[in-house]
Structure 1
Amino acid sequence: MSRFEVTTLVLAPPPIVFDASLSVDVHASSMRHSNEQAVAGVTSGQLALGDQVTWRARHFGLTWHLTSTISAYIRPTYFVDEQVSGPFQRWHHAHTFEAIHHDDIDATLMKDIVDFTAPAAPLGTIAEVLVLKRYMTKLILRRNAHIKEITETPLR
């Protein structure tokens, strides 16, 4: 199993950042480069506790489907999405949103903690270490940059 964490400072209050992070449309927009689309379950709007969404995306030249559920939800501070079915043996993504005051602005320290396991050990374990951890970290960084951009824009 691999784990990585990403922390992002967003100059917007936690409720705004939390809601953007649970928006199917915002997620799809942030992953345009991989043509990621919601194809089943909740396919637009806001996700809530117990909701499921199936994503179709293109990574490594292949089309993948991943169905996740929102398994924990405490607005506006915490939620978890977990894979129900898809390419990983395990995918658990915890999101936290901490209210902070930064340069006289109500801001959010957004933290992603991702635990995942690739299938097909031992080859999957090798791929996890050599490729997947770095690749998945870059995807989360891209997503967070998009969330930061759209939630901070009204403040500019």
Structure 2
Amino acid sequence: MKVYSLKAEQFVNASIQECWAFFSNPRNLQKITPTDMGFEITDFDEKSMYAGQIIQYKVSPLFGIKLSWMTVITVVKEESYFVDEQRFGPYTLWHHKHFFEEKDNGVLMTDLIHYALPLGFLGRIMNALIVKNKLKSIFNYRTIKVDELFNTK
């Protein structure tokens, strides 16, 4: 199984408390996800983030095809980092670490994702042709939205 990684960093002009409150709330994910992804939370207990929390979504990453996706929050260190992992969904492996580092005048937010695709050789081709670029475009979109929400004040 080939495992890929993606790293994204962004400075957020907000306090660590504001940043954590926004990014640790799954309801805000829709605000920073491209609309063409058809992102929709289908099951969430509405509690503050905690280790063991299950969140279920519907997404349409390619060609409008709806897919179910279940993630579990596996680790939470308040105002520092959290980790979500896919339990069911389009990836063979999805491990997403969200780090928040307080800096002068804001927060450096770093995402580190490790992922793998099913179908062996075909999955590697799909990553090279579509998936890698789709993930980059999702994070580019998120950068723009986070700038609009936090960095234009």
TM norm structure 2: 0.88
The one-letter amino acid paired with 2:72 is T
1:130 maps to what in 2?
129
Separation in structure 2 between the aligned mates of residue 8 and residue 115 of structure 1, nearest angstrom: 18
The one-letter amino acid paired with 2:146 is I
After superposition, residues 6-155 of structure 1 pair within 5 angstroms as 6-31=8-33, 32-42=35-45, 44=46, 46-61=48-63, 62-101=65-104, 106-152=105-151
- Once the 2 structures are TM-superposed, how far is the Cα of residue 117 of structure 1 from its aligned partner? 0.2
The answer (yes or no) to whether the contact 1:77–1:98 under 8 Å persists in 2 is yes
- Once the 2 structures are TM-superposed, how far is the Cα of residue 68 of structure 1 from its aligned partner? 0.3
Aligned residues between the structures: 149
The one-letter amino acid paired with 1:67 is M
What stretches of structure 2 of length at least 5 have no aligned partner? none
Separation in structure 1 between the aligned mates of residue 148 and residue 121 of structure 2, nearest angstrom: 39
- Once the 2 structures are TM-superposed, how far is the Cα of residue 59 of structure 1 from its aligned partner? 1.8
Q: Which structure has the highest strand share of the two?
A: 1
The answer (yes or no) to whether the contact 1:21–1:147 under 8 Å persists in 2 is no
SS at match of 1:25: helix
SS at match of 2:28: helix
Q: Deviations over 1:86-123 (max 9, x none)?
A: 1100000001111111xxxx201100001000111110
- Once the 2 structures are TM-superposed, how far is the Cα of residue 46 of structure 1 from its aligned partner? 4.1
Spell out structure 1 runs of 4+ moving beyond 6 A. Answer: none
SS at match of 1:137: helix
TM norm structure 1: 0.86
Separation in structure 2 between the aligned mates of residue 69 and residue 86 of structure 1, nearest angstrom: 12
The 1:146/1:46 distance shift into structure 2, 3 A limit, reads: farther
Separation in structure 1 between the aligned mates of residue 47 and residue 141 of structure 2, nearest angstrom: 20
What stretches of structure 1 of length at least 5 have no aligned partner? none
The answer (yes or no) to whether the contact 1:25–1:45 under 8 Å persists in 2 is no
The 1:130/1:94 distance shift into structure 2, 3 A limit, reads: same
- Once the 2 structures are TM-superposed, how far is the Cα of residue 24 of structure 1 from its aligned partner? 2.1
Stretch deviating more after TM superposition (68-77 or 129-138) = 129-138
